[in-house]
Amino acid sequence: MSGQGVSNGLIARIVVLAVAVVFFQIGVVSEVPVFGVTVDLSTLVVAFIGLLCGSTVGAASGFAIGLLVDLALVQTLGLTSLVFTLVGYSCGRLRELRDPQAALTPLLVGATATATALIGYSLMEFMLGVDAPVSLELLRQIVLGVLVNTIVALPMWVLVRRCLIGGLPQDPRRRRRRAYTTGGLSPLSRP
Amino acid sequence: MYDKTVRRRRAVLALLVVLSLILLTAYFGEAPSGRLHSVQRGFLTVVAPIQDGANRALKPVRDLFGWFDDTLHAKSQNTELRKQVDKLRREVVAERIDQQSYGELLAMFHLDNQLSASDYRPVNATVVSQTPNIWYSTVLIDKGSSAGVQVEDPVINSEGLVGKVTEVVADGAQVSLITDSSMGVSARVGATAATGIVQPKVGDPNDLLLQYLPANTPANKGEYVFTSGTVAPPYNSLYPRGIPIGQVTSINEESAYKSVNVHPLADLRNLDVVQVLTATAGSQPARLSGVVSSLPSGRQTGAETGGAGQLASTGTG
């Protein structure tokens, strides 16, 4: 599913999920530091939407969520959109090319997406010019941010999957795989 | 069919990236009164009451997480705070005697019209949201222009300087904290007359840098850093004199200037209630802010202006 066959139901689910997560992030999660950093749920949501729905939906969701974050936090418009578009697209391409099914995939995708978003954001800020001195602590903050996001990646994956699974069309490859695992086509199950 | 899918996928990506870049360029290039900034303010107007409601509804959840964090830190802070209380008690006694003499001297030389926090009308506000970003340190408060809050108003809490107001809508305002990369505050160390500029160190929310102090400025570890009551371009916010900002943690000797690392006194990660110092029309702070805003907004650094290019917040009567 790389764009075609996106149902209205799926779009509605993504919109509700995105708005809820962004406001929960801003209102609650941001005010609860863990190891001195805050969990960034919006990056994880973008990554997992891409991983579940493909590159086109991932990129579009990334752009929209990024815009929402920039608007709500009165930040430079377009900065988070750009970073999240690339994160959503990359995660979607990973699904389309590899379709990873390992249990640890959400952890790795969450960690990589967070690292990409934090480093990409920092690079963009450097390119736009920073008036204040930059501390080496920034690197530690990035590493801690990735670590903390990795910890919450799995529950976040379960939540995003649960929210979107009803709106996803049946993937032929998944259906085939499920048929094998349930024994429907196994020669041993035949009378 | 496959080609068509690939082409469409790439076209969508290119479109979104170009759209982001256009937004970025337009936003970065326009004035704060520009169209995109207005859209952002409009969004803030709609979102501020929702965030306020969500903040109230979700407060128990936040308090629960906060309780665990506070309990973990309470024991380690206890001993340290007891030592500080003893030290401060001794200092208060000495300060009171000095304060009395100081007041008498100011009155004697007709210098007792300096701008102080008591000249402002404080507006209490609750923090309803916080930025989850290393690069931006901003919070959203539940009081806006309807309560008299204006852009550039100083924001404090019981511990010290918190930041300044950077965006205002009717029922909410955005406050840039002193750890935000866009901030700079004119400040001095202890009782010295020399002023420098306190800037954040991006990536380290617990460290500020007081820069451009003259090399011979006496500064010791543990000394308090206060607002100097002056402005230094391009940071045109006028903070009243004497608001505590932080404590010196280390001193860096440089060639022409001295800089000191400062630990902020206000716990900027756990802000709940803040006070916006608003100026009523015709008051001394309002008059001085008018003078400041009428100054040409140069982009020169504090190093270029040093202490000489600063406008003091001493009242002119």
| Largest pairwise CA distance in chain B | 90
3-state class of A90 per DSSP?
A: helix
Whether a cis peptide bond, with omega within 30° of 0, leads into B234 is yes
Q: What would the mean pLDDT of B255-269 be, rounded to a whole number?
A: 84
Q: Is A73 within 8 Å of B55 when comparing Cβ atoms?
A: no
Average pLDDT of the segment spanning B268-290: 77
User: Quick one: pLDDT at residue B114?
Assistant: 58
In this structure, of A163-167, B7-11, B287-291, the range with the lowest mean pLDDT score is: B287-291
pLDDT at position A176, please?
52
Please state the rounded mean pLDDT for residues B74-79: 76
What's the pLDDT tens digit per position in B193-234? 788 889 888 777 788 988 888 888 888 888 889 888 877 666
Average pLDDT, integer, range A158-178: 73
Q: Confirm or reject contact between B17 and chain A (CB < 8 A).
A: yes
Distances, alpha carbon A182 to alpha carbons A172, A174, A176, in Å: 15, 12, 10
- Sign of the torsion formed by the C-alpha atoms of B93, B266, B118 and B314: positive
Strand ranges inside chain B, DSSP E = 121-130, 138-141, 154-156, 161-169, 172-177, 185-189, 195-201, 204-214, 224-227, 230-231, 244-253, 257-264, 273-278, 311-312
Q: List the Cα angle B8/A100/A50 in 5-degree steps.
A: 40
Q: β-strand B185-189 against B204-214: which pairing, if any?
A: unpaired
Q: Are B119 and B285 in contact (CB under 8 A)?
A: yes
As assigned by CATH, the class of the A8-189 domain is: mainly alpha
For residue A94, give both structure tokens. Answer: 């990973």
Domain boundaries, chain A: 8-189
The whole-angstrom distance between B140's CA and the closest CA on chain A is 8
| Most confident segment among B13-17, B153-157, B241-245 | B13-17
Which of B55, B87, B69 has the alpha carbon at shortest distance from B267? B69
CA distance A119 to A132: 18
B232 with B197: CB under 8 angstroms?
A: yes
Q: Over 70: is that where the pLDDT of A188 sits? A: no
Which of A27, A85, A89 lies at the smallest CB-CB distance from B55? A27
Contact A110, A161 (CB under 8 A): no
> What single letter denotes the amino acid at residue B153?
D
pLDDT of residue B291: 67
What's the mean pLDDT in B33-37? 87
Nearest to A141 by CA among A120, A159, A115, A167: A115
ipTM given for this complex? 0.83
Q: Please give the Cα distance from A155 to A159 (Å, whole number).
A: 6
Is B203 close to A128, i.e. CB distance below 8 A?
A: no
Total-model pTM:
0.74
Share of chain B above pLDDT 70, in %: 80
Q: Which amino acid is at A67?
A: L
Which residue is associated with the tokens 């989850």? B132
Q: In terms of Cα–Cα distance, which of B298, B290, B305 is closest to B152?
A: B290
Q: Render the burial of B236-255: b for 16+ CB within 10 Å, e for the rest.
A: bbbbbbebbbbbbeebeeee
Strand partners, B278: B121
Contact B109/A at CB under 8 A: no
Q: Is the model's pLDDT at B112 over the cut of 60?
A: no
| pLDDT top residue among A160 and B63 | A160
Beta strand B161-169 pairing with B224-227: unpaired
Set of chain B residues whose Cβ sits within 8 Å of the Cβ of A132: 181-184, 199-202
Q: At B158, give phi and psi (nearest 5°).
A: -65, -20
CB proximity list for B288: less than 8 A, separation 6 or greater: B115, B238, B313, B315
Cβ of B134 and A118 within 8 Å? yes
Nearest by CB to B27, from A63, A77, A135: name it.
Answer: A77
